[in-house]
Amino acid sequence: MDLVSQSCFSSDRDFSVFSTRSRLFMHLIAFSLAFSFLISLVDAHTIRKKQIWMKKELFWAFRDPFDLIHSSEQKKIIRSLIETAFTLWESALDGRIVFHQKELINNTVLGLKKPEGVDIDILFAKGHHGDKEDLDGRGGMVAHSGYPPSGFLHLDSDENWSMDDTTGVDLRYVIS
């Protein structure tokens, strides 16, 4: 038995029936898969290493471009929770990064286009909402985000959101 049949298959099977060409082909496939995996690890490390903000002050905005939050009181509470989350991050980072809320005059017109001067764009959306990843409705994925410089957090508006961890997905934990 050759290396492929010894290492990749159970020992009670005889794979010596494979031709030399077939065994070579299996070795090449195994090598290319391993090589591809290693390259993807290196690429992922390189990408993450490059995807950082090169400044100390970051600006965030909470918007409702799809008009999914109808109460101004709810919007105020959500902004307050986001502000608290960023305060926690500032503290954890020992002030190396400072977060500021960017006040927007009209926060519904732009759709997914991040407003100028905003580093982290936070909004509620549902299903197919115009970026590369759809939200899946209630249950499953509750949000998705993008590394710098894209800087976004899209929260699934179909979730049963809660502010106190008793009736649904606690927004405080997701945004923190």
Do 34 and 69 lie in one domain? The reply is: no
Do 26 and 92 lie in one domain? The reply is: no
* CATH, residue 148: 3.40.390.10
Do 166 and 81 lie in one domain? The reply is: yes
Do 73 and 156 lie in one domain? The reply is: yes
Residue 58 has pLDDT above 90, yes or no: yes
Do 65 and 39 lie in one domain? The reply is: no
How many helices (H) and strands (E) the chain has is answered by 4, 7
For residue 9, the model assigns a pLDDT of: 41
Q: What digits encode the pLDDT tens for the residues 117-144?
A: 999 999 999 888 888 888 888 888 899 9
Do 86 and 156 lie in one domain? The reply is: yes
Do 102 and 34 lie in one domain? The reply is: no
Contacts of 96 (CB under 8 A, 6+ apart): 56
In the chain, the percentage of residues whose pLDDT exceeds 90 is: 31
Q: Is residue 20 very low, low, confident or very high in pLDDT (cuts 50, 70, 90)? A: low
Instruction: Quote the CA–CA distance of 157 and 123 in Å, as a whole number.
Output: 9
Considering the entire predicted model, what is its pTM?
0.69
Do 111 and 137 lie in one domain? The reply is: yes
Do 123 and 40 lie in one domain? The reply is: no
AA identity, residue 74: Q
Mean pLDDT across 88-94: 92
Decide if 119 contacts 145 (C-beta within 8 A).
no
Domain that holds residue 26: 3-50
Decide if 19 contacts 2 (C-beta within 8 A).
no
Do 133 and 72 lie in one domain? The reply is: yes
Do 87 and 44 lie in one domain? The reply is: no
Q: What one-character-per-residue DSSP string does 43-87 give?
A: HHHHHHHH-S--SSEEEEEEE-TT-----HHHHHHHHHHHHHHHH
For the ranges 32-41, 48-57, 97-106, the lowest mean pLDDT is seen at 32-41
- Count how many domains the chain has: 2
Do 84 and 134 lie in one domain? The reply is: yes
